[in-house]
Amino acid sequence: MSVNTPSPDPLAAADELTARARAWRTEPSESPQLEALALAVTANLPVLLWGEPGIGKSAGMEQLAAGLDVPLETVIASVHEPSDFAGLPIIGDDPATTGVPMAPPDWAVRLAAAGRGLVFFDELSSAPPAVQAALLRVVLERRVGSLTLPEPVRVVAAANPPSSAADGWHLSPPLANRFVHLHWTHEPRTVARGMAGTWPSVTVPLVDPGKISGAVARARGAVSGFLTARPGLAHHLPADAEGRGGAWPSPRTWEMALRLLAVGYATDASREGLASAVVGAIGDGAGIELLSYLEELDLPDPDRVLANPEAFALPKRGDRQLAFLTAVVSAVQGDLSRRRWEAGWVVLAKAVDAGVPDVAARAAVDLAALRDTDWAVPSGIDGFIDILRLSGAMPAGS
């Protein structure tokens, strides 16, 4: 009598082989593009990775989500309709009273329920203009239908150059201007090591809480000082379609650059990684000029100066003076106290002593506006009395 034994699964061994071939580990690596991605994610700015098909953009997102320990939702933008992002109308019992809510898609509901996560919009340049338009609100306002994505949800997208994308489109200027644009490439050595089972890791930088105030103030001073010297770069829309579909300077992207600088200062990011992120926000031309300006600027930490203002020597160059005094006032505003406010006037008084009160005029008006009515007027304000009265920051009888 024969006994029927179950036959082994013919694909079990093959599946095990495939699983082992897919297994990989990561190791720390100095990569400006990975650091730029991590800086933008830390600053909670939408990122757009540009790269040829098969370069590893999707795999990078899996690794980033694993490093952040958050769920990943991948949305192929090119196969969706505008209503998939704007929401589908759902009629309730009494539309005249409650209105018609716009139902969000399932991926948005899952992210909202988790309270955190990473949403990855792939093949963005293959999405038609109507879909790109629907994505504007998702990227800028984090709204999907009637649902608002939680703040800890990060947004990353990927696109192939129009020449490489299937039915590729240039990005519309309003959508392109909402991203930090990074060029995603891999060196042959990196690919070779990855085939051996080891890929570089995406390490998210940690913000030092003790550096937050000074980092924001330094970034404000740097960007404000630069745009004061180069006002023509505050907004510059490229003339060609390809340029408009990439990074270019506007008030929105300058704010993005400011946030990137602040995160870089608060995390001690490398110059290369920070440079890649800043250029990805405001474009090559404005970005290279800003970086050159920052190399020569070398602003001191305004919080340290406010802690001991008497020991501080005002920079000799006018652009450094303006940028630093702007940073000092921003630092006082970020952590306002009477001691820090009075220390700010000690710093500004050095501009009067140096014979350049006009450089500190705007900063003096802003600092005066921060005064609590219970605080006495310090002696350092004497050199700015006329300016403050003209601006209305100080009554004529004071």
Given a cut of 50, whether residue 397 has pLDDT beyond it is no
381 or 292, higher pLDDT: 292
How far from 310 is each of 131, 306, 359, 365, CA to CA, in Å?
A: 58, 9, 19, 21
Given a cut of 70, whether residue 166 has pLDDT beyond it is no
CA distance 293 to 314: 18
Percent of the chain with pLDDT over 90: 40
Query: For residue 160, what pLDDT is reported?
Result: 84
235 or 129, higher pLDDT: 235
Query: For residue 307, what pLDDT is reported?
Result: 92
Secondary structure of residue 58 in the 3-state scheme: helix
Given a cut of 50, whether residue 396 has pLDDT beyond it is no
Mean pLDDT for the chain overall = 86
State the average pLDDT over residues 197-224: 89
What pTM value is reported for the model?
A: 0.84
Query: For residue 2, what pLDDT is reported?
Result: 57
Given a cut of 50, whether residue 395 has pLDDT beyond it is no
Tell me the residue type at 52.
E
Given a cut of 50, whether residue 172 has pLDDT beyond it is yes
State the average pLDDT over residues 205-230: 91
How far from 110 is each of 71, 163, 246, CA to CA, in Å?
A: 9, 34, 31
Given a cut of 90, whether residue 178 has pLDDT beyond it is yes
Query: For residue 60, what pLDDT is reported?
Result: 80
178 or 88, higher pLDDT: 178
Query: For residue 287, what pLDDT is reported?
Result: 96
Query: For residue 156, what pLDDT is reported?
Result: 95
Q: Which pLDDT band holds residue 388 (cuts at 50, 70, 90)?
A: low
126: CB partners within 8 A, 6+ apart: 77, 78, 159, 160, 165, 166, 167, 168, 169
- Nearest 10 degrees: Cα torsion 45, 51, 57, 58: 100
Percent of the chain with pLDDT over 70: 90
Reduced to 3 DSSP states, what percent helix, strand and coil does the chain have, rounded to the nearest 5? 55, 10, 35
202 or 218, higher pLDDT: 218
Query: For residue 321, what pLDDT is reported?
Result: 85
Query: For residue 163, what pLDDT is reported?
Result: 63
* pLDDT, tens digit (0-9, with 9 covering 90-100), for 3-57: 666 667 888 989 999 999 988 888 887 788 889 999 999 999 999 999 887 777 8
Instruction: Go through the domains of the chain in sequence order and give each one's CATH number.
Output: 46-89+102-178 (3.40.50.300), 210-391 (no CATH)
Given a cut of 80, whether residue 290 has pLDDT beyond it is yes
Query: For residue 167, what pLDDT is reported?
Result: 58
* pLDDT, tens digit (0-9, with 9 covering 90-100), for 325-373: 999 999 999 899 999 999 999 888 888 888 777 778 888 888 988 988 8
Give the side-chain half-sphere CA count within 13 A for 271: 7
**Beta carbons of 304 and 343 less than 8 angstroms apart:** no
